[in-house]
Amino acid sequence: MLTSSDDIVTLTQDKTMYSEINGLAEVKRIPLTNPADHSKSIFSSIMPRKSGFFQRWISAFFYIPDIRIKWLEPLKQALMEELARQEYDCLLITSPPYSLAMIASQLTMELSIPIILDMRDPWTSNPYKIHPTFYHYRKDLKLELTSITRIRYGVSAYQTLIRYYEKHIQNFNPGAWTVIPNGYDEDDFNGLRKDGFNNNKFNLAFSGTFYSHINKPTPVFKALSRLAPELREKILFHHIGNTQIDLQKMVSKFGLQDHVRLWGYLPHKTCIENLNKMDAFCFILDDKNKYSRNTIGGKVYEYLRLKKPIMALVPADGEAAELINKTKSGVVISPKDIQHICETLKTWVKKPVDYKYSGIEAYSREKQALQFLEVINRACDKKPVIS
């Protein structure tokens, strides 16, 4: 396994997860000084300290498709050295970062062994991705379409991404691609205790990062603030994860200091243990963003496995809504429909709702590993789907 060195990883790292691959795979780290350091030094005087969005905007302004573009040269060199040292049947390249899709495209043209590109997130059609200007979007889109055109074996976490390529790439062959969604590890849920918080509250949780432009908790906070005081007293909203907005300020704005608990980032196992104590979950995708229909979010699959009601504040015609409806695991509500959110909370607090949670097992990592094995066998044993 080739990956980056820790010094260019800007996301919060969960060191406890390293133990899960200990001894199972050889990991080689390719170092590179983080080019973001230069940007930070230049713009530190004008960047708001807590503006995660602005920092990401600056990064997106200077680096297309992403800041890891500077990592491709040392990565390719290390990869070619590894291929010279040992014989391999195929290469599996996972994106994002999207620059890795570019190198997958290059290697498909240069190497004789099969290259499999695994797209865990949409690229330019990703609602979380920032394009500072239309020029940045067009250049990024051109890189994406050019790269994907050359891919002979593709995996996507989303069916909507394959539909997007069918629409935008002439002679695109969907038969060369396999949909393997995100999911959950069954081992993470073994031995979980069944006790709750014992706080006489209805505990509603959001797990993951809040971003300012796509999934702010405003709909939930508005709904809580509009509930009758005696009902609001029975509800406690939990956030587990990072945030790129000032949540404390937002909580104060809606007068919810006694109704919101902010856990911050927790190690994965601890996060699962806390989620298991909740009464219900929610996740949010702002339906004003047309690309919100193209994603779901990895934590949702852990919600499914815990089999507790899910309030999906998402576009009704998107892939996230399709998942909730298909699995019969909760209710889909437009983020703008505050009254519907209020009514749902009233119902859930008064009486537990029994959802079916149909077909949850299909999203286990074991099932997904078998699907990946099928893709690898097809790539290694047969001629490419695309000539």
Pinpoint the alpha helices (H) of the chain.
36-43, 52-62, 72-85, 99-110, 134-150, 159-168, 218-226, 229-232, 247-253, 268-275, 299-306, 319-327, 338-350, 365-381
186-361 belongs to which CATH class? alpha beta
At 18, the amino acid letter reads Y
pLDDT digits (tens, 9 = 90+) for 88-140: 999 999 999 999 999 999 999 999 999 999 999 999 999 989 999 999 999 99
pLDDT at 225 over 80: yes
pTM for the whole structure: 0.86
Average pLDDT, integer, range 59-79? 88
Q: Map out the domains of the chain as residue ranges.
A: 2-31+63-182+365-381, 186-361
- Taking the CA atoms of residue 34, residue 37, residue 39 and residue 42 in that order, the dihedral angle to the nearest 10 degrees is -160
**Within a 13 Å sphere around the CA of 5, how many CA atoms are in the beta-carbon half?**
10
2-31+63-182+365-381 with 186-361: one CATH topology? yes
Say if residues 283 and 312 touch (Cβ distance below 8 Å).
Answer: yes
| Per-residue CA distances from 332 to 196, 201, 207, 258, 280 (Å) | 25, 23, 17, 27, 14
Q: Which fold has domain 2-31+63-182+365-381?
A: Rossmann fold (3.40.50)
Fill in the DSSP letter of residue 243: B
Say if residues 332 and 212 touch (Cβ distance below 8 Å).
Answer: no
pLDDT digits (tens, 9 = 90+) for 237-282: 999 999 989 999 999 999 999 999 999 999 999 999 999 999 999 9
Mean pLDDT of the chain: 88
